[in-house]
Amino acid sequence: MFPLRVRGLRFEPNGRTVLSSVDLDLSGEGISVILGPNGAGKTLLLRLLAGLLPADGGSIAWSGAAQPDGRLAMVFQQPMLLRMSVFTNVEFALRPQAMSAAERRARSAEVLDRVGLAHRARDCARLLSGGERQRLALARAWAMRPRLLLLDEPTASLDPSATEAVERIIREIRTEGAKVLMTTHNLGQATRLADDIIFLADGRIQEHVAAPRFFAHPQSPAARAFMQGELPWRIAFEP
Amino acid sequence: MLGTLSDALALLAGFDHRLLEIVGLSLRVSLTALAIGAVLGLPLGAWLAVASFPGRGALIVALNALMGLPSVVVGVLVYLALSRSGPFGSYGLLFSPAAMIVAQSMLVVPLIAAVSRQIVEDAWKEYAPEFAVIGIGRPQAVALLLADCRFSLSVATLAGLGRAMSEVGAVMIVGGNIDGYTRVMTTAIALETAKGDLALSIALGIVLMAVILGLNVAAYHLRGWATRRYG
């Protein structure tokens, strides 16, 4: 599955360029954080990698292959939760896998315990708080034992304590061997979590460096402006 | 007028045998048609919601158009199919409750399918990316979406029951309105009104209205309860 190599990736809906030429190399370890202004195409890049959208050009190669040979999971900014119990919302995600019902139940119970939702397993998922919903979405992704976990602003609109809980889970998932690629607007969160930073602006990756180096000395003018809060925030298409 | 209304209420209060027989047959025919409509219409609608194939748009337009299918047209079609010279004439179903069930099912299936297609498609737009990443296939998606949308779909099926119970043209043609055998509320109302027996017509009308109103009250409360319980 790794290294992941992206070359010249383009996305141009209705002739409007959102991603013009993205080149990216990712190893299979650590947490990579995609930073960039609104409309830069961060979510779009995750969706292209997940295969949810067809690119208009360029290539994505997973260790040389067109399709990843390991499991990929994604947690969306607004996670989809079925009108069913918390437990079922994890368990159903394991049904496509070659597992017995007993194994599915056991693994679902295990991850719910690890994200602190075991006591709410029988409750209806849609009645959870925002932080609990995001933990449930992470539990569902975790249960799939992904090799690559894509997270689209996993703590957007969460309070500090819920954010801390989500970050703790992300670290645990990383510790268990999953590669995490996530977007965030929260620079503090990027500082806490990121091993490396991918800075996306103007339709391309401006920088991809180790996190300490990025925060100490952003190289590109766009990254420097972003860090100083000067980069204009564009309202643009981000499906 | 007041005397007729009084007679109608007396029929209801006295649990008139004839009235109960007609109401019983109406419920049996319409509930059976509803069950058939739900079994066929819900999966059909859900499948159309998630499927992708050439001609899907035309099929959806056709299904939506069938919602407004005149019941007399259905009656004529079923009559032709079940008459002695028709393809299913050998079964001897014409002028029987079974023929009425067939006719009402033909009215209910498109209605349930079309409404459920819209409900499930709205949910599908929301869930499709997540299902794709998880690896949920289309058949599994249909099952999950039907389960997830169960409360909205139950309202759709109640609408189907309303359609079945209130129609008169099809059951009149294929049932024949035979007293004690195929006479249901709507056909009885039409006949008794023509004969001038307004008391029975009004009594049946009250029952019919009560059933339809009850269904709507049930649907309203079901939605409210489901929203509180499941979000």
We report the CATH number of the domain holding residue B160 as 1.10.3720.10
Q: Quick check: is B231 in a domain?
A: no
Q: How far is B126 from chain A (nearest CA, A)?
A: 7
Q: Quick check: is B137 in a domain?
A: yes
Query: From CA A209, how far away is CA A225, in angstroms rounded?
Result: 17
Which chain A residues in 128-157 lie under 8 Å from chain B, judged by CB atoms? Answer: 140, 144
Q: Quick check: is B4 in a domain?
A: no
Q: Three-class SS of residue A65?
A: strand
Residue B153 CB neighbours (<10 A):
23
| Residue A82 forms contact with B (CB below 8 Å) | yes
| Residue B119 forms contact with A (CB below 8 Å) | no
Nearest to A126 among B126, B147, B231 (CB): B231
pLDDT at position A214 over 90: yes
Model pTM?
Answer: 0.85
Q: Quick check: is B138 in a domain?
A: yes
Q: How far is B216 from chain A (nearest CA, A)?
A: 23
Contact A124 B132 (CB under 8 A): no
Closest-CA residue to B30 (of B116, B115, B107): B107
β-bridge partners, A73: A149
The DSSP 8-state label assigned to residue A30 in this structure reads S
Strand ranges across the sheet with A31-35 = A72-75, A148-152, A179-183, A31-35, A196-201, A204-210
Range of the domain at B103: 24-196
Domain tally, chain B = 1
| Residue A73 forms contact with B (CB below 8 Å) | yes
Contact B151 A83 (CB under 8 A): yes
| Residue B135 forms contact with A (CB below 8 Å) | yes
Q: Three-class SS of residue A151?
A: strand
Contacts of A124 in chain B (CB under 8 A): 229-231
Q: A208: Cβ–Cβ under 8 A, 6 or more apart, which residues?
A: A24, A25, A196, A197, A198, A199
Q: Cα A100–A105–A111 angle (5° rounding)?
A: 125
Q: Quick check: is B227 in a domain?
A: no
| Residue B148 forms contact with A (CB below 8 Å) | yes
Q: How far is B201 from chain A (nearest CA, A)?
A: 44
Which segments within B75-146 are labelled E, that is strand?
none
The CA-atom distances, in angstroms, between B142 and each of A11, B127, B187 are 30, 11, 38
Q: Quick check: is B204 in a domain?
A: no
Rg for chain A, CA atoms, rounded: 18
pLDDT at position B60 over 90: yes
The pLDDT assigned to A231 comes to 56
According to DSSP, the β-strands at A148-152 and A179-183 are parallel
- A239 pLDDT tier (thresholds 50, 70, 90): very low
Contacts of A95 in chain B (CB under 8 A): 136, 140
Residue A3, preceding peptide bond in cis (omega within 30° of 0)? yes
Q: State percent of chain B over pLDDT 70.
A: 100
- A234 pLDDT tier (thresholds 50, 70, 90): very low
**Averaged pLDDT score across all residues of chain A:** 93
Query: From CA B172, how far away is CA B189, in angstroms rounded?
Result: 11
Backbone angles phi, psi at B215, to 5 degrees: -60, -45
The pLDDT assigned to A230 comes to 61
Contacts of A84 in chain B (CB under 8 A): 147-148, 230
Q: Three-class SS of residue A114?
A: helix
Query: From CA A29, how far away is CA A24, in angstroms rounded?
Result: 15
| A and B: number of Cβ contacts within 8 A | 56
A9-22: average pLDDT: 93
CA-based nearest residue in chain B for residue A148: B133
| Residue B127 forms contact with A (CB below 8 Å) | yes
Lowest-confidence pick of A9-18, A228-237, B85-94: A228-237
ipTM of the complex: 0.88
CA-based nearest residue in chain B for residue A93: B134
Q: A168: Cβ–Cβ under 8 A, 6 or more apart, which residues?
A: none
